[in-house]
Amino acid sequence: MKIMFSIGTLSSGGAERVVCNLSNYLNKFHDIHIVSVKKTDIAYTLDSNISIDFLDNREEISYDKLMNKRILDKIKRIIRNLRRVRKLKNIIKKNKPEIIVSFLPEPNFLNLILKSKFKIPIIISIRNDPKEEYKSNLYNRLMKKYYPQADAIVYQTEEAKNFFRNIIGNNVIQEIIPNPINEEFIERPYKGIRKKIIVTVGRLQEQKNHKLLIDAFEKVSNQIPDYKLVIYGDGNKKQELETYIKSKNLLDKVMLAGNTKEVKKHIYDASLFILSSDYEGMPNALMEAMALGLPVISTDCPCGGPKFLIDNGKNGILVKVKDVEAMSKAILKVLENKNYADYLSMNASKIAETLNPTKINNEWKKIIEKIGKNK
């Protein structure tokens, strides 16, 4: 079967990682092609025979500099999306996929717009908190118009599925499939003396609320000053976070370490992993830290991914979203009690059994083949 995956970018990120890993797995059985909206560096390894197309690979059209910026941006956005639809149409004509599997809103909309023309079955996947993802008027209207036209929708959590209860009709197959653990992170917990560092991994974006983590760390550092906080990732909040760290006189204790392709190597022997997000889908970074056997703390954020992964107090700790005091107390509870940290570590590593990659990839394979065969 010819399967086309559609994604916004192939840079670092949870959805991007799932698409690449799932493509490699299904490549053993089917002909895989990937279409990325934006042309970026490819952060994850792909089998050499998996072909890739990019929708955005032209220069931006230049306009009169005196034109009103708001009007200019609107014109650019319209032209850019018309180009994307036209190019995607040509790619579909050329490659003749038998099924399309699309991740994230923009690719979902682009593919569903063309569905009536090609009559190709489309599976879309919801990867983030839909209350946040579709809160703009435009995205909300597009979602309500096009998502009921999908053949199947894959969610990561029950909470995400419930959001669409009164929007998606009975003709759309709906499944919940959590993310698989990346095989690279299935490892016995570290047994030596852990480094006195706290780590997190994620894009430097508003959603991740790194300021909450920095504020909580500051409180902890006043009581146990020999720990450092290392934040891996990059994004549009980098400069703002650098200024924030400097304003708190924490430059010697909080490090923005940038992106890395060696996450496992850098976090394996850390004392603690923390996810401070305001909302998430099924956070890969948290899953992978647990699989490595790190003690973990996460905000109990919508749309339920951390709550799915963490049995509070047994294999990790959940704290309220945006609660600095609760976060700092949880950090101290782990760092000041080695036996408890070891208990969390041992239990956290068992997530690799629940989210075994072969098991999860087979769930994807089953629904893709079912939809493709039926159509």
Question: Taking 70 as the threshold, does the pLDDT of residue 59 lie above it?
Answer: no
User: Is 118 found in the same domain as 191?
Assistant: no
The confidence band for 60, taking pLDDT boundaries of 50, 70 and 90, is low
Model confidence pLDDT, tens digit, residues 77-106: 888 889 999 999 999 999 999 999 999 999
User: Is 105 found in the same domain as 33?
Assistant: yes
User: Is 133 found in the same domain as 21?
Assistant: yes
Q: What is the average per-residue pLDDT within 37-50?
A: 92
- Residue 94 belongs to what domain range? 2-180+356-374
Task: Determine contact, residues 97/33, Cβ cutoff 8 Å.
Answer: yes
Q: What is the pLDDT of residue 201?
A: 96
User: Is 156 found in the same domain as 217?
Assistant: no
Q: What is the CATH number of the domain that holds 76?
A: 3.40.50.2000
Q: What is the average per-residue pLDDT within 358-374?
A: 94
Model confidence pLDDT, tens digit, residues 5-22: 999 999 888 899 899 999
Lowest mean per-residue pLDDT among 77-86, 223-232, 260-269: 77-86
User: Is 188 found in the same domain as 160?
Assistant: no
> Sheet holding 99-103: strands in order across?
51-56, 31-38, 2-7, 99-103, 122-125, 152-155, 173-176
| Residue 231 bridge partners (DSSP) | 200, 256
Q: Which residue reads 């040509």 in tokens?
A: 90
The confidence band for 61, taking pLDDT boundaries of 50, 70 and 90, is low
Q: What is the average per-residue pLDDT within 210-231?
A: 97
User: Is 196 found in the same domain as 95?
Assistant: no
- Please state whether 44 falls in left (phi above 0), alpha (psi between -120 and 50) or beta: beta
User: Is 211 found in the same domain as 88?
Assistant: no
- Number of structural domains (the chain) is 2
What gap in Å lies between CA 45 and CA 42, rounded to an integer? 8
User: Is 153 found in the same domain as 18?
Assistant: yes
User: Is 162 found in the same domain as 293?
Assistant: no
Measured in degrees and rounded to the nearest 5, phi and psi for residue 363 equal -65, -40
User: Is 163 found in the same domain as 101?
Assistant: yes
> HEC profile for 253-314?
CEEEEECCCCHHHHHCCEEEEEECCCCCCCCHHHHHHHHCCCCEEEECCCCCHHHHHCCECC
User: Is 190 found in the same domain as 151?
Assistant: no
Of 204, 199, 211, 375, the C-alpha closest to 294 is 199
Q: What is the pLDDT of residue 13?
A: 81
End-to-end Cα separation, the chain, in angstroms: 12
The angle formed by the CA atoms of residues 171, 176 and 178, to the nearest 5 degrees, is 155
User: Is 222 found in the same domain as 73?
Assistant: no
Tell me the chain's radius of gyration from C-alpha atoms.
22
Model confidence pLDDT, tens digit, residues 200-219: 999 999 999 999 999 999 99
Q: Which residue reads 């023309």 in tokens?
A: 117
Q: Counting beta carbons within 10 angstroms of the beta carbon of residue 344, is it exposed (0 to 12), middle (13 to 18) or buried (19 or more)?
A: buried
Listed in order, strand segments (DSSP E) in the chain are: 2-7, 31-38, 51-56, 99-103, 122-125, 152-155, 173-176, 195-201, 228-232, 254-258, 270-275, 296-299, 317-319
